[in-house]
Structure formats: C-alpha cells, structure tokens
Amino acid sequence: APLIQRLDYQQPAFWIRKVDLTFDLDPAKTLVTSKMQVERNRSVPHGPLRLHGEELNLLRVLIDGSSVSFRQEGNELVIDNAPDADFALEIRNTTCPEKNTALSGLYTSGGSFFTQCEAEGFRRITYFLDRPDVMAVYTVTLRADATKYPVLLANGNLVSSGTLEEPGNKGRHFAVWSDPFPKPSYLLAVVAGDLVAREQRVRTRAGKDHLLQVYVRRGDLEKTEHAMNSLIASMVWDEARFQLPLDLERFMVVGVSDFNMGAMENKGLNIFNTSALLASPATATDADFARIESIVAHEYFHNWTGNRVTCRDWFQLSLKEGLTVFRDQEFSMDMAGTTSARAVCRIQDVRQLRAMQFPEDSGAMAHPVRPDSYSEINNFYTATVYEKGAEVVRMYQTLVGRKGFEAGMKLYFERHDGQAVTCDDFAAAIADANPGSALATRLDAFKRWYSQAGTPRVTAFGEHDAAARTYTLRFTQQTPATPGQTDKQPQVVPVVMGLLDRHGTALALNANGDTEQVLVLDQAEQTFVFENIDSEPVPSLLRGFSAPVVLHDGLSDAALLVLMRHDSDPFNRWEAGQRLALNRILHALRAGQPLVLSPVFIDAMRGVLNHPELDPAFKELALTLPGEAYIAEQLDVVDPQAIHAAVIAAQTQLASALRDDWAAAFEAHQIQGGYTPDPVSSGKRALANLALSMLVLDAQATGDTVWPGKAYQRFKDASNMTDRLGALAALVNAGAELAAPALERFHALFKDDALVIDKWFALQARAPESEGRVFARVKALTKHADFTLKNPNRARSLLASLCMFNPAAFHRTDAAGYVFWAEQVLAVDAINPQLASRVARAMDRWAQLAEPYRSAAREAIARVAAKSDLSTDVREIVERALA
C-alpha cells in the first residue's frame, strides 16, 4: 500500500455539492443509487474525476443522464472526460452487507443494518470523493422490508415515509431523510432494523425544542436511561461553557453490538457500541457508567468540534479528536463537582495517558499528534492523536487562561464554521484571540507539539542560597529520538508550580503573595529565581499534570512525603505517593533484589487509608500501586516477569501490613440504600473493593478462609455489578479456590447478557499470572462456546486483555504467548482488519524487551509480516515494528 504523506495534500479536482442517496436494503445485496451534483474545482489543474470505491459491484455510471466511458484503476473509478460545466453524476452499485465482517461501510448486526464511515468506510457503500474536505448536502432514501426493518434512520430530519406501492416492492416501506448541513462523507449514517427508542423532548436555553432519541434492541430499553441523562447533561454543558447549542430538531443515538470503536459522531445520528451506551445497576459497573457519560458527551460535542468544523485531511484528525477529548474531560470534571472529585477525574485521565500514550510514544508506532504519513488511516486513531492531543489543547488553556481559551474557541467558530480546516487554523484562532499571551508570543515553538513525536524529558534542579534567601530552579528538557525523527527542538512546557516549606506550608512566590504560578519553558535550559525564600523549600512542579512530559525532579523520599501530606494540589499529592512506590519498585528491579517496602512507606499508605478528610475515591487511587505498563516505561530494558513479581510482592506486603486497616476500611465504606453511580458512592465502592481484594490476597498468603468466604457471600448477594464484579475479581485475582464456583455462577446468571459475558472473559484474561495458569485458561477460553472473533467486544475481551493488558501472562520464556498472538492476529485479519491491527500493536515495544523475549517477539512479528495477504492495516503495524 502506498504511503500517504501530509505534505502531498492537494485540493480535489472536483467538488460534490449535493448527494441524493437511495438504499434498497437487503442483507445479501443492497442496491445503492447515488445522484450527485458535481463541479470542477477551478483552483487546481484540470484533471480526471477519480472516485474511491472498495468491494463494490458497479452497475452503471451516467453523466447528465447519459452513459459515459470510465475505467477502474485499483480502488478508483476514473472518468477522464468529465464536463467542465457543473454536471449530474449518477452511479448505481450493489454491496453485500451480511458478508461485511470488517464492520466498515454498510453491514448487518443482529439482523439490523448499520453503517460506519469514518474514516474511509463510505467508499465501501458507493463510489465517491471519500475525503473530509469534500462536503455535501445529503438526502437519503431508505427502502426495506417493513416487518424486518420497521425503523429506518439517516442523518438530519425526516421528510417523508410510507409504504411502497409499486409491484415488486410488496411488504416494503420507505423513509426519506434530509440533512441541511453540508458534511463530509465520513459523517453519513444509515440504520434500519427492529429497534425501539427512549424519547425525551427538551428545550434549550436558546428556547428551541428538540427531540432526543436513544434507539436499541427490544429488551434493552431500561438500560438507556443513563445515556439519555448523559446526553441532556452534555447539551446543557456545551451551551453553558462554550455557548454551543444543538443545531438540529432531532438528535438520535443508536446502539449496536458489533462495532469496532466506542462510538461515532455521525451528524444527528450517533452510533454507539452497546458497551458505551447500555447500563443498568445490575449489569454495569461504576466505571461503565462514567465511561458511558463521557462517550455520550464526546460524540455529542463532536457536533461542533468535528462536524460543524471538520478536518481538511486525516492528518488533522487531532483537530477534532484532541479537542473533543479535552472537552469531554472538562465535562466529566464539571459533572464530578467537588475539587477532590475533579482531581480524581484528572488522575484517571493521566493514568490512562501514561499507560497507553507514553508507551506508544516510545515504541515502534511513535508518531506526532499530527502524523506525517500513513498507509492506513485507521491505524492512527491512537492514544497520541486522542489523549496527547487533548493534553495539547489543555496546554492552550493553561497558557491563555480559561476565559482566553473560550474567546479562542469563539473566534475559531466565527472563522471556520462550515469549513474543513487544519490544526494550524485552530492554533491561529486561539492565539489571535489572545494577543500578547504566553501562547501568542511563542506560537511557532508551541506548534512543535503537533510535529514532534516522543515524550519530552524535563529535569528540574533546585538550589537554595541561604545567604541571598533565593531559590533557583534550573530546568533542562530533551525529547528522545523516535522513528524517523532524530533531532528534536525544545517544546513549550507550561509548568504549574508552587513551593512548600518543610512543614508543608505554601510559600509566597512573588511580591503579590501568589502561592502558585505557571513557569513557561521554551528552551533546552532555563532558570527561574524566587526571592525571599528563607529555607530549603520542597518544589511542587507540574501541578495537575500541566504538560504531557516525564519530570525528573530528584526529590528525596522525605520531600515526596511532604508533598503527599500537604500539597494543595491533589494531583501532586497522588503523584508523590505513586513516586514513593515507584522508587521502591524500580530500586528493587535495578538491583535485582526482592522488593521490600519500608516502614516509612507503609506508614504513609496507612495514613492515607485512615485519613479523616480524604475522599474514598482519592484514597483508592493513592493506594493503588503503579501499573506494570507504567513501570515498564521507566526502564530501558523490560523484563515483564520481574516487574510482575515486584508488583505482586508490593501488593502482598501492603495487604499484610495494613490488614486491620483494610478490614476497617471495608466495613466503613458499605453503602445502605439504592444504587447511584455518583462520585461519592462510586468512590466508596471502589475503596471497599480494593480493601476486599487486599484482604482476600492476604488470606491466600496466610491460609485464612474468612475473607474469601466473605467475598463469595458478597459476590452472591451483591445488588449491583460494581460490588459483584469487585468481589469476583478479589477471588479470581488472588487465585482463591472459591474463584471457580463464583465464575461458574456468574456465567450462569448472565449468560444472556453479552456485555456482562465480555466482562467474564476479560476478568479471567487479565488475572495476575501465576505459573502459566492464566495463559492456559485464555487458550482454553478461545474454545468456549460463547467465544467468537467476529464480535469485536468479545474478541478484545480475551485477545487484548491477554496480549495488551496482562504482560506477565503474555511474555513467556517459551514464546507461547507470541505464537498465540501471531495465530490470532492472522485469524482476525481475515475477518476484521481494523480489529486485527489493534491486537497486532501488542508488540509495539518488543525492542525494549529483555532476552529471551526480545528475539522471540521479533521472530513472531517477522512470521506475521511474511504472510503475503495481510491487510494494509496489519501490514503497516508489523512493518513499522520491524523497521
């Protein structure tokens, strides 16, 4: 497949302004008729009309009603003699939705029709200029069997519907939908099936009435209340925070069980993976409720950041994704409410960034937020484009302030509403709205965040001069080389900071008495001097994780303890505790010695657990040890087994040393009354679940049977999924004997609920490895009657869980994990390339592995790469890995 380069961008030779699409829906053969209004783009050289099309059966091509000569060149339909004047182009083709296991384009799932067009799925429906800078107004007519597909949906407003009367259409009906907003083809959506809807009418601040609908399969309706509430909350928030109202009379959300992604922001017709939509207390955890709220909001926010203003080309993907993730993160924080609950959101987001994006940035697939080249765009829906992109947007806000950022957003929409634009356009709008700001004066340097891959390393060194009463902070920064990028320039790094004295009191940083300020780094080396500092302070740097960098500040354990106990910034309090743990784990790993937690560390953790004021949700985060992926990130050579052993040792010691405290915490955080997924209740449940898992782990070590028994009882009696799954996880993760009967019972209880059975598979595949038992279990589960590679959620529940989220089960000295990986990647690739390439990425960081893992991993990748019929998706991943 050709490598597509960002700098090769050219406008299309033609524009398509209007599209009239008709679908005669049939699972085996759907007829698509597309009537387009086309005009030549006079600002580029005269050339042929080249339309994209994949896996289509072409029936006819007419220009202004007459047949025209054309040729097919690979996946392009080329018309050499298109008129110079505007013309009508009509194309008829068929597709086969029921054989479309790639789930891109038009496909069937559970007997209904769905589409997924981002990024390049529209070309699997009909021939088109399938690129985001071609924006057209669409009318869609759907025709289908009225009994099997009573609901017919497309973007925009319903114009008409009725029964088809013509002979040959017996039993069929139709609906015509029209979307008044010009949009790129990737936002087109069609749904047809036997669905039911939860409906709600709402009136916005602007006084307009809207109809909100959430469509799902019969039987799932009671699981849509949370999604509907989330949608309403998103509408209210976007109007209040950014003055962005809903622009459609009707806004529809649809759930589908077979879906490659979380959800998709099609104009007025968002399509969701059911895992990101359906929730009831009995079947969804607190984490599911939070994730649904954030994804519903994310897709809704795209209506402005993505749909009203879209991307000029796919290299600009972060223009909409980074910005929209930032917006959904801000929304979740505002919904959480209290300072502490906001901090919990922030910590979770940063943990996710470090677990997913940092490894990406230091592995074979490292790429800038705005990539320079790709062969398959689906491979670039990444943590870098999404999560690092969101951090970049957050830095704009930090540099220009919250009001300044809102002014920038306003200017962005004034300038670009209805356009397909670039990340540069966004940067210009934020800077132009804030002349003279720390951003505007460094805009070119700031934009390196879009062009340079790799996580910058920032070093801080503080020096106190007692005689001069000054404190000097010297910063250096350096971004490591990444594939194809060796020389890096300094980044603009906003460092939100404060200084504490050794008792934890915040010090004045300047004559105004401010105790917090933003230092802006933009050089390889910089110093800042603080006056009137009487004694050696403890610096609290990068508060709230103000930039996506790795910070080395050389703080002693004593200084970290001061921050952990006293910093006014809750993020840095959490961070200090994590670093205390990390220091110990890294020390043991580097020295090759068994890990022993110090009494000071254990006391500090006990202090957190028993703290009278800290929120339970915060305590749970602070008492959870750093993840294995994040620990691996700190090491040049990674031995997954050694890391796992160290983490288990730390957990076991923490479980045992705080035994009585865990038991007290477990009892103290029981909730009476009904289930609500609010931050306070979910924090209590999270802490109780952590305590229970520690108690069962400790019981395994001591041979005690009381706590496993209590966990089993709680598992049986639980009135909500968070408690039930928490108790089950405690048993499974500790390797308790009661795990087997509990798993069996859980399966029997929920065998008819696919999303819960996904959890059942994932829990087993993510369990801490012990003597190869987890790996053996996963292999056996691939043969389970409920397992299939065809459903992405189910496939991920085993494959991604093992290969990406369970390093100690996956990386084996006998290489069996890699053999399994290669088999599964190839098997999935034949069904669903997008899914296969996600699983393929489990090997991104093979080059950092210790031997014997490294050589064995390379061999497995090479074996996959040697297959001649790989998809472009998987080929790009394995070739980048081997490059």
Q: Which CB atom, from 184 or from 768, has the smaller least distance to ligand DPP?
A: 184
d(CA 589, CA 234): 46
What's the min distance (Å) between Cβ of 263 and ligand DPP?
6
Q: With 0-12 CB in 10 A as exposed, 13-18 as middle and 19+ as buried, what is 711?
A: buried
Per partner kind, with CB cut-offs from 5 to 8 A, the member of Zn ion, ligand DPP, none near residue 261 is ligand DPP
Q: Which of 220, 299, 567, 569 binds ligand DPP (CB under 6 A)?
A: 299
Q: How far is CA 239 from CA 208, 222, 234, 331, 337, in A?
A: 12, 28, 9, 12, 18
- Binding segment for ligand DPP among 261-269, 580-588, 638-646, 733-741 (CB under 6 A)? 261-269
Q: Which CB atom, from 187 or from 608, has the smaller least distance to Zn ion?
A: 187
Query: Which of 134, 110, 216, 112 is closest to 122 using CA atoms?
Result: 134
Please tell me whether residue 298 binds ligand DPP under the rule CB under 6 A: yes
Whether the bond between 852 and the residue before it is cis, its omega within 30 degrees of 0, is: yes
Q: How far is CA 331 from CA 240, 324, 335, 501, in A?
A: 11, 10, 6, 35
Please tell me whether residue 309 binds ligand DPP under the rule CB under 6 A: no
- Binding segment for ligand DPP among 295-303, 402-410, 465-473, 583-591 (CB under 6 A)? 295-303
Query: Which of 743, 626, 746, 616 is closest to 690 using CA atoms?
Result: 616
What's the min distance (Å) between Cβ of 325 and ligand DPP?
8
Q: Which of 195, 263, 561, 877 binds ligand DPP (CB under 6 A)?
A: 263
Residue with tokens 């500040």: 553
299: annotated active-site residue: yes
Residue with tokens 């459903």: 791
The contacts of residue 752 (CB under 8 Å, 6+ apart) are: none
Q: How far is CA 846 from CA 540, 858, 865, in A?
A: 35, 7, 15
Angle between helices 640-657 and 599-609 (to 10 degrees): 60
What's the min distance (Å) between Cβ of 381 and ligand DPP?
6
What's the min distance (Å) between Cβ of 300 and Zn ion?
11
Pairing state between β 209-217 and 195-203? antiparallel
Q: Which CB atom, from 102 or from 778, has the smaller least distance to ligand DPP?
A: 102
Please state the length of the chain: 883
Q: Which CB atom, from 117 or from 804, has the smaller least distance to ligand DPP?
A: 117
Per partner kind, with CB cut-offs from 5 to 8 A, the member of Zn ion, ligand DPP, none near residue 628 is none
Per partner kind, with CB cut-offs from 5 to 8 A, the member of Zn ion, ligand DPP, none near residue 873 is none
d(CA 8, CA 477): 32
Please tell me whether residue 261 binds ligand DPP under the rule CB under 6 A: yes
With CB under 6 A, what is the number of residues at the site for ligand DPP?
Answer: 9
Q: Hey, which residues between 121 and 180 contact Zn ion (CB under 5 A)?
A: none
Q: How far is CA 21 from CA 57, 252, 598, 698, in A?
A: 16, 20, 69, 63
Q: Hey, which residues between 314 and 333 contact Zn ion (CB under 5 A)?
A: 321, 324
What's the min distance (Å) between Cβ of 407 and ligand DPP?
26
Q: How far is it between the farthest Cα atoms of the chain?
A: 98
Please tell me whether residue 390 binds ligand DPP under the rule CB under 6 A: no
Per partner kind, with CB cut-offs from 5 to 8 A, the member of Zn ion, ligand DPP, none near residue 829 is none
Per partner kind, with CB cut-offs from 5 to 8 A, the member of ligand DPP, Zn ion, none near residue 143 is none
d(CA 615, CA 341): 8
Angle between helices 679-702 and 339-352 (to 10 degrees): 60
Please tell me whether residue 730 binds ligand DPP under the rule CB under 6 A: no
Please tell me whether residue 264 binds ligand DPP under the rule CB under 6 A: yes
d(CA 371, CA 590): 35
d(CA 581, CA 404): 38
**CA count, 13 A, side-chain hemisphere, 682:** 20
| Active-site position among 90, 265, 299, 330 | 299
Query: Which structure tokens are listed for 749?
Result: 């209880």
Please tell me whether residue 623 binds ligand DPP under the rule CB under 6 A: no
What's the min distance (Å) between Cβ of 830 and ligand DPP?
23
Please tell me whether residue 321 binds ligand DPP under the rule CB under 6 A: yes
870 contacts 862 by C-beta, under 8 angstroms: no
Q: Which CB atom, from 260 or from 452, has the smaller least distance to Zn ion?
A: 260
Q: How far is CA 260 from CA 155, 822, 835, in A?
A: 20, 20, 7
Q: Which CB atom, from 102 or from 756, has the smaller least distance to ligand DPP?
A: 102
Per partner kind, with CB cut-offs from 5 to 8 A, the member of Zn ion, ligand DPP, none near residue 264 is ligand DPP
What's the min distance (Å) between Cβ of 324 and Zn ion?
5
d(CA 174, CA 166): 12
Q: Which CB atom, from 265 or from 758, has the smaller least distance to ligand DPP?
A: 265
348 contacts 686 by C-beta, under 8 angstroms: no
> Residue 13 has what DSSP assignment?
S
Per partner kind, with CB cut-offs from 5 to 8 A, the member of Zn ion, ligand DPP, none near residue 118 is ligand DPP
Q: Which CB atom, from 316 or from 693, has the smaller least distance to ligand DPP?
A: 316
Per partner kind, with CB cut-offs from 5 to 8 A, the member of ligand DPP, Zn ion, none near residue 130 is none
What is the separation of C-alpha 658 from the centre of its chain, rounded to a whole number of angstroms? 35
> What 3 state SS string does 628-672 have?
HHHHHHCCCCECHHHHHHHHHHHHHHHHHHCHHHHHHHHHHCCCC
Q: Which CB atom, from 93 or from 294, has the smaller least distance to Zn ion?
A: 294
- Binding segment for ligand DPP among 52-60, 70-78, 298-306, 832-840 (CB under 6 A)? 298-306
What's the min distance (Å) between Cβ of 413 and ligand DPP?
19
Please tell me whether residue 276 binds ligand DPP under the rule CB under 6 A: no
- Binding segment for ligand DPP among 130-138, 258-266, 286-294, 719-727 (CB under 6 A)? 258-266
Q: How far is CA 386 from CA 235, 402, 591, 755, in A?
A: 22, 21, 37, 25
What's the min distance (Å) between Cβ of 119 and ligand DPP?
8
Query: Which structure tokens are listed for 468?
Result: 């001069």
The contacts of residue 613 (CB under 8 Å, 6+ apart) are: none
The contacts of residue 878 (CB under 8 Å, 6+ apart) are: 840, 843, 861, 864, 865, 870
Per partner kind, with CB cut-offs from 5 to 8 A, the member of Zn ion, ligand DPP, none near residue 220 is none
Q: Which of 54, 90, 118, 575 binds ligand DPP (CB under 6 A)?
A: 118
Q: Which CB atom, from 143 or from 320, has the smaller least distance to ligand DPP?
A: 320
The residues with which 34 forms a beta bridge, in sequence order, are 21, 91
What's the min distance (Å) between Cβ of 341 and ligand DPP?
24
What's the min distance (Å) between Cβ of 382 and ligand DPP?
11
Q: Which of 90, 265, 349, 376 binds ligand DPP (CB under 6 A)?
A: 265
Q: Which CB atom, from 16 or from 264, has the smaller least distance to ligand DPP?
A: 264
What's the min distance (Å) between Cβ of 849 and ligand DPP?
31
Q: Which CB atom, from 298 or from 342, has the smaller least distance to ligand DPP?
A: 298
What's the min distance (Å) between Cβ of 579 and Zn ion?
32
Q: Which CB atom, from 319 or from 804, has the smaller least distance to ligand DPP?
A: 319
Per partner kind, with CB cut-offs from 5 to 8 A, the member of Zn ion, ligand DPP, none near residue 828 is none
- Binding segment for ligand DPP among 257-265, 273-281, 632-640, 750-758 (CB under 6 A)? 257-265
Q: How far is CA 289 from CA 235, 728, 791, in A?
A: 18, 19, 22
Q: Show which residues are catalytic.
A: 299
Residues that bind Zn ion (CB under 5 A): 321, 324
Residues that bind ligand DPP (CB under 6 A): 118, 261, 263-265, 298-299, 302, 321
